[in-house]
């Protein structure tokens, strides 16, 4: 491949590269013990690693050769001179110090214990540090970060001795350093409340008097058992059991709303509760707006959305009897065979194994409309391509278009439960599109369609795009729109580097315009669905990195989405030098990129690693139910070459030798070195840059990774542009050994001969991730892309395109027999019995790097008739952030803020996954430094300037507490009865702060005849005021008083 020859030439003659090699010391004159080292023999073949001596010096072979080491030991030659032969070599052993945890430290069983030690070598380098627990080797660190080497150990009960020893580059071993720790059995004194599950088994299309509704009643308890179950209709118990699941049939007897409440009790007396409200109507009366609506999904006002066309009565998506969870595959337009490479067509999709197909990609055209280019252009794969002679790819002649869209609709007729969505955007087409000549047009795409040059919202562009989306899906038979906008984040240089001149100039306004876009899309799709008698879906592909999400506020758009597909991959790759997993499920505490930026060591982060799937899932759980979350799984690899250090490459470094040759958008900043991506046979699915050269990335379909692992030279190399006869990088050399990180749930291939690391997915990691989806109640999986899956071709003796991974997911989901969760927020949350109309807005987020700590304003507006002055407002936030919540340092008025419930892991990190889903934070409307209440009377707004450290969605489950009463917020629980002022029944308030209203002076009378003293109450108008100090002024117009009650 000529691309590789150019790449190697550039590296070979780089001054930086030569400087690096010379600094290593190819001509070493250090003493070397030649005892036992064989003498070099002429005409003898030597291979990499062989050590010989000649002319009183020792040499090491770099590759196969027969040449004289004395004359061939300069840089880039066959031998390295190790030193001058000397039988006496004084080598000082390395030293270890600062072992943590310290002796006497206590842990709980199953805690992930982070072990760390400093290791140095005065006359060489530390080659490895070995970690022992009770003299059993548990880990080896061959990389370290500076002088710090570390590992992790899953704690078991008892007293244990943790020991370490270091080995230097000459084999000398340090003395062993040991500490003793104590691990105790976990004793959880807090009983966890049981969870009630109220399921509709049957619900008539029209609920009228005489209709019957069948319920399934059950409960579960994570730390005990359910001992009692009570089912009530409008507060009256109608069914009960000793805790076992039961069925109940209810018959409607009168018109109006009916509330059904299931309460479950566990063996320690804790209760859990869930409610559902149905409305009984007159025959023919249309009042089914809420039927089948998923919990928390926004519905356009005034629109009767036909949710029941794709959701059941519990708000779960209907995908076929054998599909309890989503299996979503991206189908790409470009694997159509036109370039001579093997095609992956619609007929290759395993239609019986999947639930949704996202077609990639459409783009935003110059008129701000959804486009696939000229649909009549010759060779347009979407609408004007044919595949004569390909079995199964025969077009449906009844459709007015050809191409992929024709075949998608043809096969949908055979598989009516499978839904198709048009995916708009993608990495390369978020800010532009590819023209007819195949070159990328930097048009601005989503950035300019949504956001004007001054950062304001482009309403006209959004309207044009939204209306065209409806026209597009109707014309081509899609079931919805998938927005793959990468990225509407305020973080600088996020997204495609070619778009930075456009995107960076608009950063501060991108998220606000994104919210307008998604709301408008939801509205036009709802309206079109009402007319067409079907619910049109709106979904997104979301980033998963905590860095990108920091610039997306609280991801407010989730309420407009049927579900979120998390792109929980591309977490590590050759855009930087950190050799890590492409798609780790869990954090391990060892991520070198997070270490470099001191994420683990910054106390405010509390050890939380945010480059993993589990972190992203917890992040989104703050806003939506688990069933509206799908995790992403890559059917492709990421890889590096020339890896230095690490454990079999993992967490090593692979910086491009010539940092001046970094790809655009990489290698920017002092710590950000661009990576040395794998090439040639290790980069089969490579992109090309503007000059037509290979982009080094280690990008391969999983079937090619399988062949590498098995040592198979596949038959397809030539059609993908590889030339092993002329280019050594295209030759299969060395052994690709599979390794597995059981904590991260991530496999990889390591070629020690080539120093190549390839992060992969396989059956083991896929199976564990599918189990994770089931065990956490998630909606399913999404994968990029269908053509990357594999089967084994026995005739050819190699792996190629297939459906093994997809079938694995399908089988596990189908066999689990468990439906996904539909509840929003914490299932143990006790819903108050009444609500107040209080709106909430998270606003005024600083942008980019200024948003650290994250410091927005939480605004509460009281639209109710209840005076909430001085109230405590509490809410759930996801454990994606640390349990630190306080007033902004620069807040004009500091209110009292607290962490009421700390959901952090007992070990203080998220190694191996989070143990809980939520913290509970609170804001009390009282000044932080005293007891002065903050007014939140009807019609008023409180702006609380808050501060936390990692991104969150939500918050959720707001509760306002005052005078012993708890109120939910109406926007979350619209079916609850509204709280009434006064005594709660609409009558007058009879007391304020415990003092009877009749005993309080009414201005102009004063409590003390001529004045009020500190703490005295006085009424003026319909409000009660409390004096701060001595005053004879009118309360309504004086700052001498605080308003404490509203009459």
Task: Check which CATH number belongs to the domain holding 848 and give it.
Answer: 2.60.40
| In the predicted structure, residue 2 carries a pLDDT above the cut 60 | no
pLDDT of residue 10: 28
| In the predicted structure, residue 788 carries a pLDDT above the cut 70 | yes
Same domain, 79 and 99: no
Give tens-digit pLDDT for 370-379. Answer: 999 999 999 9
pLDDT of residue 89: 58
**Closest alpha carbon to 486 in 412, 419, 427:** 427
The crossing angle, in degrees rounded to 10, of helices 804-816 and 763-775 is: 30
pLDDT of residue 201: 84
pLDDT of residue 14: 28
Per mean pLDDT, which range of 103-112, 663-672, 709-718 is the poorest? 103-112
| In the predicted structure, residue 776 carries a pLDDT above the cut 70 | yes
pLDDT of residue 528: 96
Do the domain assignments include residue 519? yes
Contact in structure between 574 and 674 (CB atoms under 8 Å): yes
Which residue segment(s) compose the domain that 589 sits in? 326-640+739-816
Contact in structure between 958 and 864 (CB atoms under 8 Å): no
Do the domain assignments include residue 983? no
Same domain, 1017 and 922: no
pLDDT of residue 390: 97
To which residue do tokens 């919210």 refer? 515
The percent of residues in the chain predicted with pLDDT above 70, rounded, is 96
Same domain, 550 and 444: yes
Same domain, 116 and 234: no
Instruction: Find the mean pLDDT for residues 927-953.
Output: 91
Mapped onto helix, strand or coil, the DSSP state of residue 984 is: coil
Give tens-digit pLDDT for 431-458. Answer: 999 888 888 889 999 999 999 999 999 9
pLDDT of residue 147: 83
pLDDT of residue 83: 87
The percent of residues in the chain predicted with pLDDT above 90, rounded, is 71
Q: Of the candidates 755, 783, 816, which is a domain's last residue?
A: 816
pLDDT band for position 843 (cuts 50, 70, 90)? very high
Instruction: Find the mean pLDDT for residues 746-765.
Output: 97
Counting Cα atoms < 13 Å in the Cβ hemisphere of 326 gives 32
Contact in structure between 117 and 98 (CB atoms under 8 Å): yes
C-alpha to C-alpha distance for 834 and 100, rounded to whole angstroms: 52
Give tens-digit pLDDT for 256-285. Answer: 888 899 999 999 888 888 888 888 888 876
* Residue 1025: burial class (beta carbons within 10 Å; 0-12, 13-18, 19+): buried
Do the domain assignments include residue 598? yes
DSSP 839: E
pLDDT of residue 552: 97
C-alpha to C-alpha distance for 628 and 780, rounded to whole angstroms: 9
Question: What's the chain's average pLDDT?
Answer: 91
Same domain, 488 and 532: yes
How does 857-890 read in b/e, with b if 16+ C-beta sit within 10 Å?
bbbbbbebbbbbbbbbbbbbbbbbbbbbbbbbee
**Closest alpha carbon to 421 in 612, 267, 569, 561:** 561
Same domain, 481 and 582: yes
Do the domain assignments include residue 313? no
| In the predicted structure, residue 913 carries a pLDDT above the cut 50 | yes
Do the domain assignments include residue 695? no
Contact in structure between 1045 and 993 (CB atoms under 8 Å): yes
- The count of structural domains within the chain is 6
Instruction: Find the mean pLDDT for residues 26-41.
Output: 79
| In the predicted structure, residue 18 carries a pLDDT above the cut 50 | no
C-alpha to C-alpha distance for 402 and 416, rounded to whole angstroms: 20
Same domain, 1002 and 961: no
* Residue 321: burial class (beta carbons within 10 Å; 0-12, 13-18, 19+): exposed
Residue 18 in tokens: 């030569």
pLDDT band for position 144 (cuts 50, 70, 90)? confident
Q: Is the pTM of this model over 0.75?
A: yes
pLDDT of residue 925: 94
pLDDT of residue 23: 32
Same domain, 366 and 476: yes
Q: Which residues contact 964 (CB under 8 A, 6 or more apart)?
A: none
Contact in structure between 713 and 615 (CB atoms under 8 Å): no
Give tens-digit pLDDT for 64-93. Answer: 889 999 999 887 788 899 888 876 657 888
Per mean pLDDT, which range of 170-179, 474-483, 873-882 is the poorest? 170-179
- The CATH number of the domain holding residue 1013 is 2.10.10.20
* Residue 84: burial class (beta carbons within 10 Å; 0-12, 13-18, 19+): middle
C-alpha to C-alpha distance for 603 and 235, rounded to whole angstroms: 48
Give tens-digit pLDDT for 514-556. Answer: 999 999 999 999 999 999 999 999 999 999 999 999 999 999 9
pLDDT band for position 329 (cuts 50, 70, 90)? very high
Same domain, 79 and 141: no
Instruction: Find the mean pLDDT for residues 451-473.
Output: 98
How does 252-287 read in b/e, with b if 16+ C-beta sit within 10 Å?
beeeeebebbbbbbbeeebbbbbbbebbbbeeeeee
Per mean pLDDT, which range of 135-139, 323-327, 419-423, 968-972 is the poorest? 135-139
C-alpha to C-alpha distance for 136 and 124, rounded to whole angstroms: 27
Per mean pLDDT, which range of 284-293, 585-594, 833-842 is the poorest? 284-293
Q: Of the candidates 138, 154, 184, which is a domain's last residue?
A: 184
Do the domain assignments include residue 694? no
C-alpha to C-alpha distance for 1008 and 1025, rounded to whole angstroms: 15
Same domain, 106 and 179: yes
Instruction: Find the mean pLDDT for residues 181-190.
Output: 76
| In the predicted structure, residue 288 carries a pLDDT above the cut 80 | no
Give tens-digit pLDDT for 596-643. Answer: 999 999 999 999 999 999 999 999 999 999 999 999 999 999 999 999
Do the domain assignments include residue 524? yes
Instruction: Find the mean pLDDT for residues 743-762.
Output: 97
| In the predicted structure, residue 19 carries a pLDDT above the cut 70 | no
pLDDT band for position 8 (cuts 50, 70, 90)? very low
Q: Which residues contact 770 (CB under 8 A, 6 or more apart)?
A: 781, 808, 809, 812, 813
- The CATH number of the domain holding residue 744 is 3.20.20.80
Do the domain assignments include residue 668? no
| In the predicted structure, residue 749 carries a pLDDT above the cut 60 | yes
Q: Of the candidates 60, 90, 120, which is a domain's last residue?
A: 90
Same domain, 180 and 204: no
Same domain, 73 and 121: no
- The CATH number of the domain holding residue 110 is 2.60.40.10
């Amino acid at each position: 491949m000529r691309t590789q020859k150019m790449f190697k030439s550039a590296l070979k003659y780089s001054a930086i590269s030569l400087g690096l090699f010379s600094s290593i010391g190819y001509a070493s004159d250090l003493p070397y013990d030649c005892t036992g080292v064989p003498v070099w023999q002429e005409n003898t073949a030597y291979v990499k690693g062989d050590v010989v001596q000649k002319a009183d010096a020792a040499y090491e072979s770099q590759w196969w050769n027969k040449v004289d080491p004395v004359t061939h030991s300069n840089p880039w030659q066959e031998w390295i001179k190790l030193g001058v032969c000397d039988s006496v070599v004084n080598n000082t052993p390395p030293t270890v110090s600062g072992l943590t945890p310290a002796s006497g430290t206590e842990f709980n069983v199953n805690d992930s214990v982070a072990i760390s030690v400093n290791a140095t070598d005065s006359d060489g380098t530390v080659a490895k540090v070995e970690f022992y627990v009770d003299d059993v080797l548990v880990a080896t660190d061959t990389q370290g970060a500076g002088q710090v080497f570390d590992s992790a150990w899953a704690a078991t009960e008892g007293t244990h001795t943790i020991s370490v020893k270091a080995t230097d580059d000459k084999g000398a071993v340090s003395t062993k350093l040991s500490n003793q720790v104590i691990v105790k059995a976990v004793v959880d004194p807090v009983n966890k409340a049981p969870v009630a599950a109220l399921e509709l088994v049957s619900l008539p299309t029209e609920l009228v008097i005489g209709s019957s509704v069948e319920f399934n009643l059950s409960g579960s308890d994570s730390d005990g058992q359910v001992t009692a179950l009570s089912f009530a209709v409008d507060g009256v118990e109608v069914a009960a059991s000793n805790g076992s699941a039961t069925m109940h049939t209810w018959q409607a007897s009168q018109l109006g709303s009916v509330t059904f409440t299931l309460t479950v009790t566990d063996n320690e007396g804790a209760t859990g509760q869930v409610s559902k409200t149905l409305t009984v109507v007159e025959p023919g009366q249309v009042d089914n707006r809420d039927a089948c609506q998923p919990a928390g999904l926004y519905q356009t006002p005034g629109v009767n959305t036909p949710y029941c066309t794709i959701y059941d009565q519990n708000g779960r998506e209907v995908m076929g009897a054998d599909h309890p969870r989503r299996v979503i595959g991206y189908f790409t337009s470009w694997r159509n065979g036109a370039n001579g490479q093997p095609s992956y067509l619609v007929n290759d999709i395993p239609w019986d194994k999947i639930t949704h197909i996202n077609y990639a990609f459409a783009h935003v055209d110059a008129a701000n409309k959804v486009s696939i280019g000229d649909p009549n252009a010759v060779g347009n794969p979407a609408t004007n391509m044919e595949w004569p002679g390909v079995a199964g790819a025969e077009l449906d002649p009844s459709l007015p278009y050809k191409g992929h869209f024709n075949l998608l609709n043809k096969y949908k007729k055979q598989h009516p439960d499978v839904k198709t969505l048009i995916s708009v955007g993608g990495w390369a087409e978020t800010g532009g599109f590819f023209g007819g000549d195949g070159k990328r047009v930097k048009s601005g795409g989503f950035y300019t369609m949504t956001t004007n040059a001054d950062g304001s919202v482009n309403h006209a562009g959004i309207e044009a795009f939204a209306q065209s989306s409806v026209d597009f899906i109707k014309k081509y038979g899609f079931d919805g729109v998938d927005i793959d906008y990468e990225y509407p984040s305020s973080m600088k240089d996020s997204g495609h580097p070619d778009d930075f001149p456009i995107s960076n100039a608009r950063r501060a306004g991108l998220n606000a315009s994104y919210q307008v876009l998604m709301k408008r899309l939801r509205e036009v799709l709802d309206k079109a669905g009402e007319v067409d008698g079907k619910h049109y879906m709106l979904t997104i592909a979301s980033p998963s990195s905590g860095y990108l999400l920091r610039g997306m506020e609280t991801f407010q758009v989730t309420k407009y989405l049927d579900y979120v597909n998390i792109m929980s991959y591309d977490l590590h790759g050759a855009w930087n030098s950190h050799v890590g997993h492409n798609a780790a499920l869990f954090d391990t505490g060892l991520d070198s990129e997070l270490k470099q930026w001191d994420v683990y060591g910054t106390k405010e982060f509390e050890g939380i690693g945010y480059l993993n799937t589990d972190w992203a899932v917890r992040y989104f759980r703050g806003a939506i139910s688990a069933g509206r979350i799908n995790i992403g799984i890559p059917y492709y690899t990421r890889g590096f070459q020339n890896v230095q250090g690490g454990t079999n490459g993992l967490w090593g470094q692979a910086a491009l030798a010539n940092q001046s040759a970094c790809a655009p958008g990489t290698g920017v900043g002092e710590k950000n070195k661009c990576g040395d991506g794998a090439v040639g046979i290790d980069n089969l699915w490579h992109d090309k840059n503007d000059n037509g050269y290979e982009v080094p990335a280690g990008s391969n379909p999983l079937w090619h990774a399988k062949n590498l692992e098995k040592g198979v030279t596949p038959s397809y190399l030539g059609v993908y542009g590889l030339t092993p006869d002329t280019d050594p990088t295209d030759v299969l050399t060395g052994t690709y050994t599979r390794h597995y990180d059981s904590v991260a749930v991530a496999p990889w291939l390591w070629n020690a001969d080539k120093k190549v690391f390839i992060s992969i997915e396989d059956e083991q990691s896929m199976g564990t991730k599918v189990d994770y989806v089931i065990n956490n109640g998630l909606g399913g999986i999404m994968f990029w892309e269908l053509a990357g899956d594999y089967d084994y071709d026995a005739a050819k003796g190699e792996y190629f395109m297939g459906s093994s991974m997809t079938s694995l997911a399908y089988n596990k989901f189908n066999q689990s027999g468990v439906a996904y969760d539909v509840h929003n927020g914490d299932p143990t949350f006790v819903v108050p019995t009444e609500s107040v109309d209080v709106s909430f807005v998270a606003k005024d987020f600083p942008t980019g790097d200024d948003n650290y700590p994250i410091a927005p304003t939480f605004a509460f507006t009281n639209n109710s008739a209840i005076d909430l002055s001085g109230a405590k407002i509490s809410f759930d936030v996801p454990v994606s952030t640390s349990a630190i919540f306080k007033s902004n340092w620069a807040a004009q008025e500091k209110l009292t803020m607290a962490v009421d419930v700390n959901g952090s892991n007992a070990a203080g990190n998220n190694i191996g996954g989070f143990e809980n889903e939520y913290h509970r934070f609170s804001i009390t409307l009282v000044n932080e430094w005293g007891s002065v209440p903050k007014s939140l009377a009807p019609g008023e707004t409180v702006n609380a300037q808050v501060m936390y450290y990692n991104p969150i969605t939500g918050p959720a489950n707001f509760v306002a507490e005052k005078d012993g009463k708890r109120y939910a917020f109406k926007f979350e629980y619209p079916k609850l009865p509204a709280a009434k002022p006064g005594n709660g029944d609409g009558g007058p308030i009879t007391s304020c702060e415990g003092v009877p209203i009749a005993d309080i002076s009414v201005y102009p009378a004063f409590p003390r005849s001529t004045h009020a003293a500190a703490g005295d109450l006085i009424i003026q108008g319909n409000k009660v005021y409390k004096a701060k100090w001595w005053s004879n002024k009118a309360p309504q117009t004086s700052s001498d008083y605080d308003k404490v009650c509203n009459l």
